[in-house]
């Protein structure tokens, strides 16, 4: 019985796996495989093509897009890596031609200071605010009661007890 | 009481930020300026489509005359629809230079035979190297290059008939 149930589940599962595999390979077919002698270069190629944005797509990295311009850009990244250029040089090369739009991580410069700085500044501001609030609350609760307030408090407590 | 109101500040700040970012959602990412705006036309050395023996370079675009550089390809349907507008611009006395983008010579020349040739000369760019340096990500694209060879305006995509006067001629007047 248990085995039967397992068989029932196994067939659709196997089909699903097959379909996923098929879709993965058909998707990858549009994007060429490249040979690298050096695994470090391959890693840099992967991370560069994952962090450069296709200029004509809505929101795709060039390693995920079959647009012609993405193919050209991957080709250039590959060539420039073979020429021994650094990651920064390659990114600059692309920005010179296609603009800051192609960077998924905007560079830290005058124009992007607000973008990078605002989150930190807001966290700092929030922290200062919390410290300020906690301090004023603590001060308020620690302040001494006046004689009249103490008498009233005693009266209330005693009154509750006698009930 | 005053202090309490102060606590609303983060909320107001958040709302302002949300409004600002919400506006960004309606921006068209394809209406961004070219990275080459106000920069010199990139250096190149290529043959012309018309004559494989004739080599041209960037000095072609710094002749003291304003030029419209149009990137086109025989494989590009929008380019065919754009040709009447380009012929109109050429009739108005504007200098046009074409870049035959990722085409064969045969197909490129066939295109000009069929749809007309508004270009003074066509740069033959079968590998798309010059177009890549121009940051072209589709065709057609049109660059306005001023008399000194500096890029002043970039039009991505098809030039519609009503854009000839409203956009292209306006920019030509501005930079002439």
pLDDT digits (tens, 9 = 90+) for B69-111: 999 999 999 999 999 999 999 999 999 999 999 999 999 999 9
Let me know if residue B6 belongs to a domain.
no
Query: What are the residues of chain B with a beta carbon less than 8 Å away from any beta carbon of chain A?
Result: 3, 10, 13, 29-30, 32-36, 102, 128, 132-138
Residue A94's domain comprises 34-107
Percentage, residues of chain B above pLDDT 70: 99
Task: Return the pLDDT at A28.
Answer: 46
Q: Does A16 score more than 80 pLDDT?
A: no
Q: Give the residue-averaged pLDDT of B118-129.
A: 96
- ipTM for the predicted complex comes to 0.87
Residues A75 and A123 reside in one and the same domain = no
Of B29, B102, B137, nearest to A98 by CB-CB distance is B137
> Cβ–Cβ contacts within 10 Å for residue B119, how many?
24
Query: A41, exposed or middle or buried, with CB in 10 Å at 0-12, 13-18, 19+?
Result: middle
A108 with A116: CB under 8 angstroms? yes
**DSSP 8-state class, residue A99:** -
- b/e for B65-100, b at 16 or more Cβ within 10 A? ebbbbbbbbbebeebeebbebbebbbeeebbbbbbb
Let me know if residue B28 belongs to a domain.
no
Let me know if residue B32 belongs to a domain.
no
Check which CATH number belongs to the domain holding A54 and give it: 1.10.8.640
Residue of higher predicted confidence among B58 and A147 = B58
Nearest residue on chain A to B33, judged by CA atoms?
A: A99
Residues A95 and A117 reside in one and the same domain = no
Query: What are the residues of chain A with a beta carbon less than 8 Å away from any beta carbon of chain B?
Result: 55-56, 58, 67-69, 72, 76, 95-101, 122, 125-126, 129, 136
Q: Give the confidence band of A163 by pLDDT, cuts at 50, 70, 90.
A: low
Token pair belonging to B21: 């970012």
Residues A15 and A54 reside in one and the same domain = no
Per the structure, the count of domains in chain A is: 3
List beta partners, residue A46.
none
Q: Does A7 score more than 70 pLDDT?
A: no
| Terminal Cα-to-Cα distance of chain A (whole angstroms) | 70
Q: Does A23 score more than 90 pLDDT?
A: no
Q: Please, what sign has the CA dihedral across residues A99, A101, A103, A108?
A: positive
Diameter over CA atoms, chain A: 92
Let me know if residue B54 belongs to a domain.
yes
pLDDT digits (tens, 9 = 90+) for A81-130: 999 999 999 999 999 999 999 999 998 888 899 889 989 998 998 899 89
Contacts of B26 (CB under 8 A, 6+ apart): none
Q: Give the confidence band of B7 by pLDDT, cuts at 50, 70, 90.
A: confident
C-alpha to C-alpha distance for A81 and A47, rounded to whole angstroms:
12
pLDDT digits (tens, 9 = 90+) for B133-172: 999 998 899 999 999 999 999 999 999 999 999 999 999 9
Contacts of A68 (CB under 8 A, 6+ apart): B102
Best B21, B137, B140, B157 residue to mutate vs chain A (most A CBs within 10 Å): B137
Any idea which residue has 């958040």 for tokens? B14
Residues A38 and A98 reside in one and the same domain = yes
Q: Does A4 score more than 60 pLDDT?
A: no
Q: Based on C-alpha coordinates, what's the Rg of chain B?
A: 21
Q: Give the residue-averaged pLDDT of A132-137.
A: 88
Q: Does A1 score more than 50 pLDDT?
A: no
Per the structure, the count of domains in chain B is: 1
Chain-centre distance for alpha carbon A160: 58
Q: Give the confidence band of A30 by pLDDT, cuts at 50, 70, 90.
A: low
- Can you tell me whether residue A31 is helix, strand or coil? coil
Q: Does A22 score more than 50 pLDDT?
A: yes
Q: Give the confidence band of A162 by pLDDT, cuts at 50, 70, 90.
A: low
Residue of higher predicted confidence among B153 and A160 = B153
C-alpha to C-alpha distance for B83 and B91, rounded to whole angstroms:
12
C-alpha to C-alpha distance for B14 and B7, rounded to whole angstroms:
12
Residues A17 and A43 reside in one and the same domain = no
Residues A132 and A93 reside in one and the same domain = no
Question: ω before B140 within 30° of 0 (cis)?
Answer: yes
Closest CA to B155 of B74, B91, B62, B69: B69
Task: Return the pLDDT at A26.
Answer: 47
C-alpha to C-alpha distance for A110 and B22, rounded to whole angstroms:
24
Q: Give the residue-averaged pLDDT of B31-53.
A: 93
Any idea which residue has 């005359």 for tokens? B65
Task: Return the pLDDT at A19.
Answer: 64
Decide if A99 and B35 are in contact by the 8 Å CB cutoff.
yes
Contacts of B69 (CB under 8 A, 6+ apart): B41, B61, B96, B97, B98, B99, B142, B143, B144, B145
Check which CATH number belongs to the domain holding B135 and give it: 3.40.30.10
DSSP string, B26-77: TS-GGGPPPTTTTSBPPP-EEEBSS-TT-EEEGGGG-SSS-EEEEEE-TT-H
């Amino acid at each position: 019985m248990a085995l039967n149930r397992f068989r029932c589940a196994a067939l659709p599962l196997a089909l699903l796996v097959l379909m996923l595999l098929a879709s993965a390979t058909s998707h990858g077919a549009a994007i060429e495989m490249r040979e690298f002698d050096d695994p470090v270069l391959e890693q840099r190629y992967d991370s560069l093509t994952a962090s450069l944005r296709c200029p004509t797509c809505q929101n795709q990295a060039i390693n995920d897009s079959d647009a012609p311009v993405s193919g050209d850009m991957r080709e250039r990244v590959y060539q420039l890596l073979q020429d021994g250029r650094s990651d920064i040089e390659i990114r600059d090369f692309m920005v010179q031609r296609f603009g800051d739009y192609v960077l998924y991580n905007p560079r830290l410069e005058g124009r992007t200071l607000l973008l990078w700085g605002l989150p930190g500044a807001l966290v700092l501001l929030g922290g200062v605010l919390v410290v300020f609030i906690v301090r004023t609350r603590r001060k308020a609760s620690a302040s001494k009661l006046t004689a009249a307030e103490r008498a009233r408090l005693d009266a209330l407590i005693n009154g509750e007890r006698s009930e | 009481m005053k202090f309490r109101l102060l606590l609303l500040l983060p909320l107001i700040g958040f709302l302002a930020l949300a409004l600002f970012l919400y506006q960004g959602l309606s921006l068209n990412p394809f209406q961004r300026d070219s990275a080459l705006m106000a920069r010199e036309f990139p250096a190149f050395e290529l043959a012309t489509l018309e004559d494989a023996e004739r080599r041209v370079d960037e000095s072609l675009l710094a002749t003291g005359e304003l030029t419209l550089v149009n990137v086109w390809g025989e494989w590009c349907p929008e380019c065919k629809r754009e040709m009447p507008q380009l012929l109109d611009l050429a009739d108005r006395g504007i200098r046009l230079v074409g870049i035959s983008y990722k085409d064969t010579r045969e197909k490129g020349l066939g295109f000009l035979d069929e749809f007309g040739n508004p270009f003074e000369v066509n740069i033959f760019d079968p590998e798309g190297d010059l177009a890549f340096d121009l940051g072209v990500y589709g065709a057609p694209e049109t660059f306005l290059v001023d008399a000194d060879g500096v890029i002043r305006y970039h039009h991505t995509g098809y030039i519609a008939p009503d854009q000839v006067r409203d956009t292209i001629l306006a920019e030509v007047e501005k930079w002439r």
